[in-house]
Amino acid sequence: MSLVLLAGLTPGQRQGLERLWAVLPEARLVGGAVRDMLVPAPVTDMDIATPQPPDQVMALLRAAGMRVEATGLAHGTVTAVLEGAPYEITTLRRDVMTDGRHAVVDWTRDWREDAARRDFTINAMTLDRHGRLHDYFDGQADLRCGRVRFVGNAARRIQEDALRILRFFRFLGRYGHAAPDDDAVQAIAHNAALLRGLSVERVWSELRRILAGPNVVDVVGLMARTGVVAELLPEGFDLARFERLVELDAPASALLRLAVLARQPLAVARRLKLSRAETAYLRGTGLSFPAVASGTLLPVTDDALRVLLAEEPADHLLGRLWLAQADLPRDGAQEADFAALRQRLALMPVPVFPLAGRDALALGAAPGPAVGRALARVQDWWKAQGCRATAAECRAQLAIVLNDCAPPE
């Protein structure tokens, strides 16, 4: 194997490959692994292709004492697990039928035929056990000049699987430093409506990586011009607000960027079936920050910050500050004030109310709803003190509350 191409592999990955090549000498590294070795960049997915059918692959690996799992037999994929690391091994394929979401495949022994069904030229290269690079569609040249180009006819590749539209933009952000490929852009613009047929889980998986990726302003801008953003966010979007947030050097958080790009983030969360935690973040960042009023960031005391931290997660509050800042005109002094407030929030310990039901019981309260009501009153008192009262002070206040609530004798 070429020593240059090995730069992106760990010693464990190289040892694993040697073990697999000893059993499957015709197999080759494919796709992202080869692409990232050429960049070079760390290789995370060890994908391998082989002309042997999957049942034969499994039999050969098991005979060699390797652990093998049938992870995708319908698509010819098995996974070998070596020293805890997975190696996906897929039989060479050709498409029998595609419907824009799924493909029916058959096996082939033709490496070029298998490469021709892949999405982009930079993902269609293979590397054999002797270190020879097999590049049927000039992927290495495209990678070198920063061009993301579909293999063959761009419209046909998209019609085979509309998710390739979003993959194009993800790879464009990461690898593209040339003008976007005209054929790809035109094909995407003409076929953007095909995105409606994809599962929301697949859409969010790709959109999340695009939003968190590099060159996101240029990428999302092109997505808007080709009609892709309108398909993904039919509830509406605000590109200018999104660009302002990125220009502020806000964290490269997909959720934060979605919160500023989408006009109705919670509606998007419901439609794309985001997790409860993701939805809660969008809900939290959508609230106004108490210290921002009339286009100005007002002074905030430590007591007020502690109360906010006691009521809401810090990341929600930080997100609200970024969104508030994106909505204000650029002002150097005010940006410094926002940065200082974010730093205070990030460094401030989260206050925790020091009492629980057992404290009320220890003071003689009878179990029941009255205990919860008494604790709530003490917690309100604790917040009014800036969340600074100690556990002993809170217990003393609880005794007063319980005494006030006690029925007369």
- Statement to judge: residues 140 and 38 lie in one domain: yes
Give the pLDDT score at 407. 55
Please tell me the distance from the alpha carbon of residue 210 to that of residue 13, in angstroms, as a whole number.
28
User: Domain of 291?
Assistant: 278-347
Give the pLDDT score at 403. 85
- Among 83, 108, 74, CA closest to 20: 83
Rounded to a whole number, what is the largest CA-CA distance in the chain?
93
- Statement to judge: residues 136 and 25 lie in one domain: yes
328 pLDDT more than 50: yes
Is 214 contained in some domain?
Answer: no
323 pLDDT more than 90: yes
**Rg, C-alpha atoms of the chain:** 28
405 pLDDT more than 80: no
φ and ψ of 161, to 5 deg: -155, 105
Is 194 contained in some domain?
Answer: no
Q: Are 311 and 384 in contact (CB under 8 A)?
A: no
Contacts of 111 (CB under 8 A, 6+ apart): 28, 49, 51, 92, 126, 134, 136
Residue that finishes a domain, picked among 76, 111, 145: 145
Average pLDDT over residues 177-181: 93
- Statement to judge: residues 125 and 89 lie in one domain: yes
3-state SS string for the chain: CCCCHHHHCCHHHHHHHHHHHHHCCCCEEECHHHHHHHCCCCCCCCEEEECCCHHHHHHHHHHCCCEEEEEEHHHCEEEEEECCEEEEEEECEEEEEECECCEEEEECCCHHHHHHCCCEHHHCCEECCCCCEECCCCHHHHHHHCCCCECCCHHHHHHHECHHHHHHHHHHHHHCCCCCCHHHHHHHHHHHHHHHHCCHHHHHHHHHHHHCCCCHHHHHHHHHHCCHHHHHCCCCECHHHHHHHHHCCCCCCHHHHHHHHECCHHHHHHHCCCCHHHHHHHHHHCCCCCCEECCEECCCCHHHHHHHHHHCCHHHHHHHHHHHHHCCCCCHHHHHHHHHHHHHHHHCCCCCCCCCHHHHHHCCCCCCHHHHHHHHHHHHHHHHCCCCCCHHHHHHHHHHHHHHHCCCC
Please tell me the distance from the alpha carbon of residue 270 to that of residue 185, in angstroms, as a whole number.
29
Burial of 120 (0-12, 13-18, 19+ CB in 10 A): buried
Q: What percent of the chain has pLDDT over 70?
A: 95
306 pLDDT more than 50: yes
- Statement to judge: residues 7 and 27 lie in one domain: yes
Segment among 82-86, 252-256, 264-268, 391-395 with least mean pLDDT: 82-86
Is 164 contained in some domain?
Answer: no
Average pLDDT over residues 264-269: 97
Give the pLDDT score at 273. 97
Is 251 contained in some domain?
Answer: no
408 pLDDT more than 80: no
- Statement to judge: residues 10 and 63 lie in one domain: yes
Give the pLDDT score at 45. 86
Residue that finishes a domain, picked among 347, 366, 397: 347
Contacts of 294 (CB under 8 A, 6+ apart): none
Tokens of 121: 């030229």
Average pLDDT over residues 308-322: 95
Give the pLDDT score at 292. 84
Give the pLDDT score at 232. 98
pLDDT, tens only, 51-70: 999 999 999 999 999 999 99
Sign of the CA dihedral with 146 first, then 152, 158, and 160 last: negative
Is 240 contained in some domain?
Answer: no
Phi/psi class of residue 131: alpha, beta or left (left: φ > 0; alpha: ψ in -120 to 50)? Answer: left
Q: How many domains does the chain have?
A: 3
- Statement to judge: residues 18 and 104 lie in one domain: yes
Please tell me the distance from the alpha carbon of residue 317 to that of residue 265, in angstroms, as a whole number.
16
State the pLDDT confidence band at 329, using cuts at 50, 70 and 90: confident
Average pLDDT over residues 161-188: 96
- Statement to judge: residues 364 and 339 lie in one domain: no
262 pLDDT more than 90: yes
- Statement to judge: residues 388 and 284 lie in one domain: no
- Statement to judge: residues 29 and 103 lie in one domain: yes
φ and ψ of 175, to 5 deg: -115, -15
φ and ψ of 71, to 5 deg: -90, -20
350 pLDDT more than 90: yes
pLDDT, tens only, 7-46: 568 889 999 999 999 999 999 999 999 999 999 888 888 8
Give the pLDDT score at 241. 96
Stated length of the chain: 409
Is 343 contained in some domain?
Answer: yes
- Statement to judge: residues 367 and 320 lie in one domain: no
Q: Are 104 and 113 in contact (CB under 8 A)?
A: no
Average pLDDT over residues 186-198: 97
Give the pLDDT score at 298. 85
| pTM exceeding 0.75 | yes
- Statement to judge: residues 138 and 26 lie in one domain: yes
Give the pLDDT score at 333. 80
- Statement to judge: residues 361 and 342 lie in one domain: no
Q: Which amino acid is at 54?
A: P
State the pLDDT confidence band at 72, using cuts at 50, 70 and 90: confident
2 pLDDT more than 90: no
pLDDT, averaged across the chain: 92
Give the pLDDT score at 1. 45
pLDDT, tens only, 95-117: 765 655 566 678 899 999 999 99
Residue that finishes a domain, picked among 145, 177, 205: 145
Is 313 contained in some domain?
Answer: yes
Is 86 contained in some domain?
Answer: yes
